[in-house]
Amino acid sequence: MPGYRTKLESIAIAGVKNLVIRSLLDRQQFHDPQGVALRRGINSATWPLFGMIWPSGIQLATRLASRPVCANERILEIGCGLGLASLVAQHRGARITASDCHPLAETFLDENARLNDLPLLRYKYGQWGSQAVADPEDDTAVLASQYDLIIGSDLLYDRDMPKDLAQFIDRHAAPQAEVWLVDPNRGHRPAFNRHMATHGFVLAADERLNDQPPEAASADPYKGRLLVYHRKAQGFGN
């Protein structure tokens, strides 16, 4: 992968075999020669964030690994980055689509699927907020479907995210849908709950997560929450 440096890591997820993941070497990596990332609002400081392994992503993947697989259920991971949860779902035979706005997310997903002897994942471009652009030339590459379960991790990272993210989820959730969001206590949950309620989503669970990070036994316990929302088919959805 020219233009930046990577590394291989073995990530332990309870319930599935360890995943071999290619990630960026560090947060100093940057490579956007055609300016694609910049056009999507991704600057040099935020460019490498998609390619790092984050504790919230591991928590989400771990929870999904223990969820029963339903053959007809359509699952979407938004802001997937390296897509640990999507890879776990693919390994377990679930119908998963991964989505992100970073121009290299699909490349890394394909590489990591190959490293773990998995079929390539379904991937779509998806972005919310003021920076959202119809960048891909191929319309079929843009997220357009609706899903029964939408999942994501560490997405409420600034004050504008609650409204923008709730609108995006509403657009891509089926009339009757479930949403899982792992949040590392960034302080925007109350606003997100309010915006989700305007789209018919009820907060069904707000669970404290304080597990030891699987990738570093000596690290501090994870501090965050799993938010679960339900919406029933009563006139909501697009």
Query: pLDDT for 182-218, tens place per residue?
Result: 999 999 999 999 999 999 999 999 999 976 555 544 4
Is 196 part of a structural domain of the chain?
yes
CATH number of the domain where residue 173 is located: 3.40.50.150
Residue 238 is predicted with a pLDDT of 41
pTM given for the model? 0.92
Q: Given 3-state DSSP classes, what are the helix, strand and coil percentages for the chain, each rounded to the nearest 5?
A: 25, 25, 45
Is 83 part of a structural domain of the chain?
yes
Least confident interval from 127-131, 177-181, 204-208 = 127-131
Is 236 part of a structural domain of the chain?
no
Is 139 part of a structural domain of the chain?
yes
Residue 186 is predicted with a pLDDT of 92
- pLDDT, average across residues 75-84: 98
Range(s) of the domain holding residue 115:
6-231
HEC sequence for 134-193: CCCCCHHHECCCCEEEEEEECCCCCCCHHHHHHHHHHHHEEEEEEEEEEECCCCCHHHHH
Asked whether the predicted pLDDT for residue 237 surpasses 50, the reply is no
Angle (CA) 99-103-109 rounded to 5° is 55
Is 238 part of a structural domain of the chain?
no
What would the two tokens of residue 222 be? 């994870």
Q: How many domains does the chain have?
A: 1
Pairing of strands 122-125, 224-231: unpaired
Is 1 part of a structural domain of the chain?
no
- Rounded CA gap, 45 and 211, in Å? 29
Is 69 part of a structural domain of the chain?
yes
